Amino acid sequence: MTIIKTEEQLAVMRESGKIMKATFEYAKSVLKPGITTAELDKLLEKFIESYGATAPCIGYEGYPAATCISLNDTVIHGIPSDRIVIENGDIVSIDIVVGYKGLMTDAARTFPVGTISEEKKKLIKVTEECFFKAVERLRDGSPLGDIGYAVSSHAEANGFSVVRAFTGHGVGVYMHEDPAVNNYGKKGTGFRLRKGMTIAIEPMINAGTRDIKILSDGWTVKTVDGKPSAHYENTVAITDDGVEILTL
């Protein structure tokens, strides 16, 4: 079900978005070679809680951690672990949901650690650009296909591929609401967005093939060719004449 948010709900989501922004700034300050993904996850959980907020990922459909932390060829849903040590040259995607006063925002960033390859630098840059291409012309009445077209055309023009097996989504009252927000599509087609909708737009871009595999833990998604992947996501609210990015 698509949920149109009230002005009061949007005000709360803006506050949640401020906590999200602060959490990513904190993540950058503690993300260094030698830290494990489990250590990073616990630091981020405590930071979120220090604002009186929650990390709704904990226990969601059995998920065991506060955040998803995905390195290099892990696309999304990397489970934090004491056995995964972040190293120089890695790229680290951190996906966070912040719960605040009964509402949620969802965002992700991919960070470089130390000195990374030129390919990885370009991948991170283009993935972020894909998001901003997607929101350039969005407004009340825009078709969803415009988002997918913008993301895929920019990624592919730069020699990358778009993950199709996972999508963005509505968010706010629930972690996942309608509609699904594909990162590929035909311009001018699909469900039309409405003022007051809040959606998570999240390009997931691979350096190689778009094909993915899910590991036996049921969560971790990796590229089949072992090449790196990047993830960039924000929660946005649809307005009369554009979007308001709530998590930036």
**DSSP run (H or E) holding 123:** helix 118-135
Distance CA 123, CA 156 (A): 11
The domains located in the chain, with CATH, are 7-245 (3.90.230.10)
Under 8 Å between Cβ of 172 and 9: yes
Position 148 scores a pLDDT of 98
Total Cβ atoms within 10 A of residue 18: 16
pLDDT band at 2 (very low <50, low <70, confident <90, very high): confident
235, pLDDT greater than 90: yes
1, pLDDT greater than 80: no
Distance CA 130, CA 141 (A): 21
Q: What is the DSSP letter of 25?
A: H
Total Cβ atoms within 10 A of residue 224: 13
Over residues 224-240, mean pLDDT: 97
Burial (CB count within 10 angstroms: exposed 0-12, middle 13-18, buried 19+), residue 114:
exposed
Q: What is the DSSP letter of 115?
A: S
Under 8 Å between Cβ of 178 and 1: yes
146, pLDDT greater than 80: yes
Over residues 71-94, mean pLDDT: 98
Position 21 scores a pLDDT of 98
Position 209 scores a pLDDT of 98
Position 243 scores a pLDDT of 97
pLDDT, one tens digit per residue, over 162-188 is: 999 999 999 999 999 999 999 999 999
Total Cβ atoms within 10 A of residue 17: 23
Q: Is the dihedral of CA 87, 47, 235, 25 positive or negative?
A: negative
pTM: 0.97
Over residues 66-81, mean pLDDT: 98
Half-sphere exposure of 159 (CA within 13 A, CB side): 6
Q: Return mean pLDDT, the chain.
A: 97
Q: Retrieve residue 42's tokens.
A: 């616990």
Position 137 scores a pLDDT of 87
245, pLDDT greater than 80: yes
Over residues 128-148, mean pLDDT: 97
Closest to 131 (Cα-Cα) out of 221, 55, 202, 56? 202
